Amino acid sequence: MREMWSLLAFGAFVLQSAATTLQPSVRLTQGVVSGKYDASNNSVFLGIPYAATTAGENRWKAPQPLSLSKYSALNATAYGPTCPQAVTNAYYSRQDEDCLNLNIWTPARGENKKLPVFVYTYGGAMVTGSNSDPQHQGFNFARKGVVYVNLNTRESLWASPNSADLPGSQNFGILDVDMAMEWIHTNIAHFGGDPNHIVFGGHSSGAVHVDHYLWNHPSTWLKGAVQMSANALSGPAFAPKNVALDVVAAEVGCGTVQQGGQLECLRSVEIADLQTAFFNQTSNTWFTPIIDDITRFSDYPARLKAGKYASHVPLLTGNSAGEGTIFSLVYGAENANFSSWIETFNADSKHIPSEVLLSAYAHNSTSDSSISGMQYGEARFDCPVDYMIDLRSECQSTWEYRFFGAYDNVVGVPGTAPTHGTEVPFFLGGNECFEKLENVTAAQQALADSIHDWFVAWIKNPGAGPGWERARAVDGPIAYLGFPGDELSQIEASSGLHNGRCQEVYKPYFGDYPVVQTTS
C-alpha cells in the first residue's frame, strides 16, 4: 500500500553499479525504494508517494502525511497513477486518487557528492496533466549532473471544489505542491541531491504553482525559479461559492448545498461517475484555484512592498512568440465572434472594459477567432509575465526569454507553433522528451541541445544568469531563442518590441485583479 510509505530522512543512498545489481536502491527509515537504470546508467525512481491517498475521507482535504506503518519496500520502476481529471491521454498513467507521487532521475555517481536539483511541475490550466507525460522526463538532466524531479498534483474538481461546506483553503493543488516540496527538501539528499540547491520550475499552470510558492514562502530555501509563460496573475481567481459544485452534484444525484449533506454524498461518488459527459466537456474548467488570502492573493504589489515575497530567488521567465495561437482553435465557435468572446467567454478579461479591448484589437486583419486567440494569450500569459517583470525586476534578479521555434510537431496542430507550450521539450533537452513526437529533425534536437546546455548551466548557478542581461521594467533586455535563421544563438533584443498592448491596455487594469469566473 502506498499510504503505508513514509519516505523520511535518515536514509542512505545505496551505491550499486549496474554490473552488480539490476536495480539502484535508496534505503530509508521505512524500507528500501528500488528503481531502475536507464541506458546511461543513471538511476530512475518512478511513482514515489509524497502524501497519502486523496480518496475517501481525504477527498477535498489538505494533503495528508504518509502513514508511519510497518517496514516495507517500494518497487519504483513504473509511473504512479495520474490524478483524476476530465482529459484522458494515451501517454498518461491510469487515473486514481492515490496519485500524489513524484519521479526522480539521479546521475550515475562515482563519488558521494550532492548534486543540484531541478524540480518541474507540468502545465494544464490546473485541470489536467501528469508527471508521466513523456515530454517531461528527466533523462537529459541526469546525464548532465542534475537530479531531476517531477510531481503530480490534484486537478480540477478534485483540487478546487469551491464548496460552501469546507473551511480554510480549498486550493488543494497548491497545498499539494507545498507538501511535495517539503518531501523533496527532506529526502532528496538520499537520492544524491543537494537540499540547499533546489531550483523549482514549471510551465503554464505549473509556472503559476511556482509563483504561488514564492509568494507563500518568502523565506524559502529555493536556489532559483523558472516560470514559463505564466505566474500568479494568470487565469481567473474568483468564482461564486458552490455554484459550479451544485451543477456537478445535480448530475450525480447529490443535491444542492442548501439541502445539506452534499459534500458527504460527493465523497462517496466514484471517479468515473463524477466524470459525466457534461463535466468532461464543460464544467471541468470551472474548478481552478481562487483568491482565499491563504494560498492566493489579490494584493501582490502590497505584499511585495511588505517583504512577503521571495525576492532573493533568481528567476527565469518568458513566453513563446505566439502564446494564443492554439487557443484560436481550442474554443471553436466560442471565439468566432470577438465581441461575444470578450463579453461572454473570456473570464481572464472581465476586469477590462469591452470597449477598451475592442479598440485595442480593431486594426488586426486576421479572423475573429485568431484575434480571440491572440487576446487570450496576451491576457493570460504574455501580459501577466510582463506585469510581474515590471513589479519585481528591481528587487529580484530576473531574466526574460521569447521562444520562436515554429515546430508544429511539438503541439500536434499544423500552423500553430510557436504557441503555448512549444518550448517545453526544448528546455528539457529533447531526446527522450521527443520520443512520442512525429518527424523530429536533427535541427530540432540541435536546438534542444543548445537550450538545454545553457539551461542546465543556469540551474547549477542561477545567480550568474543564463547568458544575457537582466530584465528591466517596461523596456528591458530579452533573449530570442530559436529565432528563424539563427536558431542556436541567444539573440538579445528589447521587450518593448512585444509588450505594447500589455503596457497600454492590460497593465492599467491589473489593479482590478482578481478576475471573475462564472458558470454562465
User: What count of residues does the chain have?
Assistant: 520
pLDDT at position 16: 41
Mean pLDDT of 168-192: 97
**Cα four-point dihedral sign 7, 8, 13, 14:** negative
Band (278; pLDDT cuts 50, 70, 90): confident
pLDDT at position 515: 63
For the ranges 99-108, 146-155, 320-329, 485-494, the lowest mean pLDDT is seen at 320-329
Task: Report how far residue 406's alpha carbon sits from residue 415's, in angstroms, rounded to the nearest whole number.
Answer: 9
Task: Report how far residue 277's alpha carbon sits from residue 291's, in angstroms, rounded to the nearest whole number.
Answer: 28
Band (517; pLDDT cuts 50, 70, 90): low
Question: 229-273: per-residue pLDDT in tens?
Answer: 999 999 877 677 898 899 999 999 999 988 989 999 999 999 999
Mean pLDDT of 351-357: 91
- For the CA atoms of 479, 484, 485, 491, what is the dihedral angle to 10 degrees? 0
For the ranges 21-25, 270-274, 493-497, the lowest mean pLDDT is seen at 21-25
For the ranges 62-71, 149-158, 182-191, the lowest mean pLDDT is seen at 62-71
Would you call 204 a catalytic residue per the annotation? yes
- For the CA atoms of 353, 359, 360, 365, what is the dihedral angle to 10 degrees? 140
Task: Report how far residue 494's alpha carbon sits from residue 54's, in angstroms, rounded to the nearest whole number.
Answer: 46
Reading the block at residue 234, the C-alpha cell is 494568470
* pLDDT above 80 for 441: yes
CATH 3.30.559.10 fits 317-520, yes or no: no
Does residue 415 contact residue 373 with C-beta atoms inside 8 Å? Answer: no
Average pLDDT over the chain reads 90
Question: 97-155: per-residue pLDDT in tens?
Answer: 999 999 999 998 755 689 999 999 999 999 999 999 999 999 999 999 999 999 999 99
Band (405; pLDDT cuts 50, 70, 90): very high
Give the SS3 label for residue 222. coil
Band (19; pLDDT cuts 50, 70, 90): very low
Mean pLDDT of 434-440: 92
| Active-site residue, selected from the candidate residues 34, 204, 349, 495 | 204
pLDDT at position 284: 85
Mean pLDDT of 397-422: 92
pLDDT at position 69: 62
Edge to edge, what strands does the sheet with 101-106 contain?
Answer: 36-37, 43-49, 101-106, 147-151, 115-121, 193-203, 224-228, 315-320, 398-403, 477-481, 491-494
pLDDT at position 118: 99
* pLDDT above 80 for 516: no
pLDDT at position 239: 75
pLDDT at position 345: 65
Band (92; pLDDT cuts 50, 70, 90): very high
Task: Report how far residue 106's alpha carbon sits from residue 38's, in angstroms, rounded to the nearest whole number.
Answer: 10
Predicted TM-score of the model (pTM): 0.93
150: part of which helix (H) or strand (E)? strand 147-151
Mean pLDDT of 50-64: 97
**Which one is predicted more confidently, 463 or 372?**
463
Query: In the chain, pLDDT over 70 holds for what percent of residues?
Result: 91
